[in-house]
Amino acid sequence: MSDASEKKDAAQSQYAGRGHNLKAIVLDRDGVINELMREGYVMDWADFRFRPGSLDAIARIHKAGLLTLIITNQSCIGRGMTTRENIDSIHQRMMGQIEEHGGKIDKIYMCPHAPDDGCDCRKPEIANFKRAMADFDMGPDDFIYIGDYKTDREAAERTGCGFEMVDERQSLADVVDRYL
């Protein structure tokens, strides 16, 4: 058995033990798909930079027959720094680039609220996870969430799904390599 096959089998076995196969890989946006901005938020397409390997990783998820969903906080809207229409435009362009590379984003769940708004969709709250599960007839054993921040981990724990952290040592492509 190849080293790659062993890694895939080991990664999937933690979920197979729950009696389910993965239906989806759910991603945070900033820091996972695109580079974080040092000076704030991505509020213009000119500032959007895909992280190395993220386009290929999303294409591999799609080609494997899994759903690709995004759950993201975009508090720049609630803080009055930009509009929802502007962020939606960035998302449309992002999805166009992903599709040009053979991938697909099946749905984006976005919290537009400021941190002090008290909503139930801003991670680490889990309303957007519940919406995704209802929309795609999934339970928490049917997907993993890939994020880059402690609130991403906390939201996954509250949801009961698997979690993988992307950081300077591990990219989205590295995580996807273990599952596909």
- Spatial neighbors of 20 by CB under 8 A, at least 6 apart, are 139, 141, 142
**Full-model pTM:** 0.89
CA–CA dist 137, 100 (Å, integer): 28
Helix H, strand E, coil C: the string for 82-123 is: CCHHHHHHHHHHHHHHHHHCCCCCCEEEEECCCHHHCCCCCC
Q: What is the mean pLDDT of residues 13-22?
A: 51
The overall average pLDDT reported for the chain is 91
Per cent of the chain over pLDDT 90 is 85
99-154 confidence digits (pLDDT tens): 999 999 999 999 999 999 999 999 999 999 999 999 999 999 999 999 999 999 99
Sign of CA dihedral 107, 112, 118, 123: positive
Which CATH number does the domain housing residue 116 bear? 3.40.50.1000
Helix H, strand E, coil C: the string for the chain is: CCHHHHHHHHHHHHHHCCCCCCCEEEECCECCCECCECCECCCCHHHCCECCCHHHHHHHHHHCCCEEEEEEECHHHHCCCCCHHHHHHHHHHHHHHHHHCCCCCCEEEEECCCHHHCCCCCCCCCHHHHHHHHHCCCCHHHEEEEECCHHHHHHHHHHCCEEEECCCCCCHHHHHHHHC
How many domains, in total, are found in the chain? 1
Please say if the pLDDT value at position 4 is more than 70.
no
Beta strands at 162-165 and 143-147: parallel, antiparallel or unpaired: parallel
pLDDT of residue 21: 84
169-178 confidence digits (pLDDT tens): 999 999 999 9
Which sequence positions are flagged as catalytic?
A: 28, 30
State the residue range of the domain holding 58. 3-141+148-179
Please say if the pLDDT value at position 20 is more than 50.
no
CA–CA dist 102, 62 (Å, integer): 8
Per cent of the chain over pLDDT 70 is 89
Helix axes 3-16 and 172-179, enclosed angle (nearest 10): 80
27-37 confidence digits (pLDDT tens): 999 999 999 98
pLDDT of residue 149: 96
